[in-house]
Copies of this chain bind each other. A is one copy, B any other.
């Protein structure tokens, strides 16, 4: 039977690097952003649109009550968001059935719950996440700590909203994961070396 590891992670905590390196170490397939390209192929939506849907969902897509009546709302975005999540479910299930793999984000822990994946959550303190973001910034990008903090908090909120909406669980709540790993002041390659021993 395939071994499935899912990784949820706070923005800037190094969860994606940890997942990628762990997959390499274990010889597992690895999936993160490419899931979006696959969704685009399945739904005939552009990759940019899919990206936008998964980042803004579901805050903007609900009818708003004004007085006693619903305002007119265009339901197309809601239908498309639903189609995107449907495609995401199918793609992730196919990936998990194909081979042992590590999947980062995209509610994979919830989607694959019947397969009992090993669920990891990666987190770190704010300063360490700011430092990490800065060390990976594009050339010419100069943001203050405060600006990084805003970006990090915003991304986390967006992930939490998305996860909580589709799963009815709480993003980052310890109880949804087998293992929560703090990367503050940790060297990710060393950490992966330790972790890999658990799965070998």
Contacts and interface: CB of A to CB of B under 8 A. Distances in A.
Interface string A175-195: 101111110101000000011
Contact of A198 (B125, B180, B197): B197
A197 B180 CA distance: 17
A174 interface: yes
B177 A179 contact: no
A11 interface: no
A123 interface: yes
- Interface range for A: 10 to 19
Nearest to A119: B182
A74 to B, nearest CB: 40
Contacts of A180: 174, 177, 179-180
A179 B181 contact: yes
A61 B57 CA distance: 49
Nearest to A185: B116
Nearest to A179: B181
Contacts of A172: 174
A88 B174 CA distance: 29
A172 B173 CA distance: 11
Contacts of A194: 197-198
25 contacts: A123-B174, A123-B175, A125-B175, A172-B174, A174-B174, A174-B180, A174-B182, A175-B182, A175-B184, A177-B180, A177-B182, A178-B181, A178-B182, A178-B186, A179-B179, A179-B180, A179-B181, A179-B182, A180-B180, A194-B197, A194-B198, A195-B198, A197-B197, A197-B198, A198-B198
Given A174-B180, A179-B179, A179-B180, 10 more contacts: A174-B174, A175-B182, A175-B184, A177-B182, A178-B182, A178-B186, A179-B182, A194-B197, A195-B198, A197-B197
